[in-house]
Amino acid sequence: MEILYSNIQGKGKPLFILHGFLGMGDNWKTLAGKYADEGYEVHLIDQRNHGRSFHSDEFSYPVMVDDLKRYCAHHNIDNFALIGHSMGGKTAMCFASQYPTMVNKLIVVDIAPKSYPQHHQDILKGLSALNFNKIDSRSDADTQLKEYVSNLGIRQFLLKNLYRKEKKQYALRLNLEALIVNIEEIGEALPFDALYEGDTLFMRGERSGYIQTLDEIVIQKQFPKAQFVTISKSGHWLHAENPDEFFEKSLAFLKN
């Protein structure tokens, strides 16, 4: 069975970080260095069909939980702290509820256990429309993507997936085909009987609407020890938009 790709930084207590949809572990590199300086062995993990991890036609939270379980066995780790952003936060919640003794601290970044409607259509159209025969540089790709995605920050995030497959040929690390076919899986809610009774922190962006006040009621049923913090001056990518406050508040929770 294939094992997820990871970049491991530092030595100490294991801390796993799971990126969001269309992202990769590398998005968290700067923060990983800061956690490593605080005595953590940080595992920046690429989930299946993302980054440098394997491609598969199968894509859902149950299979991503299995991937993570295999990763733990491969690295001989049976207890760790877990941070997950957006899609990675859903994987993290599912994993913690299935294997509660393995997760000593859970941080869920800007996602609730509820179902979300599909809203990545324009991004996926734009990525699918990239004509690699006419892309000789990152700025060429950006120009093409701009027709579908007006936000520069989001385009820069997406284009981190661009790499040179051969000397003169660019490609995307994403398994775009499988992600499009299985797109409805991303918004899936946690099973209603999922429960994790360990220490949990839900972090949301001040300008993000992903976790509403009403969601807290459901969250506390499934995560009875849930605490909530809001990161100022940030939206859905709070760890990138306000990394200092994010780091300070997440570290305080991890160390407490």
Residue 109, pLDDT score: 98
| Active site annotation includes 19 | no
Whether the CA torsion 12, 15, 17, 18 is positive or negative: it is positive
Mean pLDDT of the chain: 96
Residue 168, pLDDT score: 82
Render pLDDT for 225-237 as a digit per residue (tens, 0 to 9). Answer: 999 999 999 999 9
Q: Is the pLDDT of residue 177 over 90?
A: yes
| Active site annotation includes 86 | yes
Report the distance separating Cα 76 and Cα 187, nearest Å: 31
Q: Is the pLDDT of residue 1 over 90?
A: no
Residue 21, pLDDT score: 97
Which of 86, 97, 208, 250 is flagged as catalytic? 86
Over range 78-84, report the average pLDDT: 98
Confidence of residue 248 (pLDDT cuts 50, 70, 90): very high
Residue 102, pLDDT score: 98
Confidence of residue 105 (pLDDT cuts 50, 70, 90): very high
Among 45, 199, 204, smallest CA distance to 111 is for: 204
DSSP string, 120-159: -HHHHHHHHH--GGG-SSHHHHHHHHHTT---HHHHHHHG
Q: What percent of the chain has pLDDT over 70?
A: 100
Over range 204-222, report the average pLDDT: 96
Over range 246-251, report the average pLDDT: 98
Measured CA to CA in angstroms, residue 207 lies from 23, 25, 53, 210, 212 at distances of: 20, 24, 32, 9, 11
Residue 167, pLDDT score: 82
The reported pTM is 0.97
Residue 119, pLDDT score: 86
Over range 173-197, report the average pLDDT: 96
Which of 19, 85, 236, 239 is flagged as catalytic? 236
Name the least confident of 58-72, 162-176, 216-230: 162-176
Going from N- to C-terminal start, the domains of the chain cover 6-115+188-255, 121-181
Residue 202, pLDDT score: 98
Render pLDDT for 189-202 as a digit per residue (tens, 0 to 9). Answer: 999 999 999 999 99
Confidence of residue 166 (pLDDT cuts 50, 70, 90): confident
> Which segments of 40-93 are extended strands (E)?
40-45, 80-85
User: Selecting from 3.40.50.2300, 3.90.1150.10, 3.40.50.300, 3.40.50.1820, what CATH number does the domain 6-115+188-255 have?
Assistant: 3.40.50.1820
Report the distance separating Cα 50 and Cα 179, nearest Å: 9
Whats the size of the chain, residue-wise? 256
Q: H or E segment at 242?
A: none
Report the distance separating Cα 162 and Cα 165, nearest Å: 9
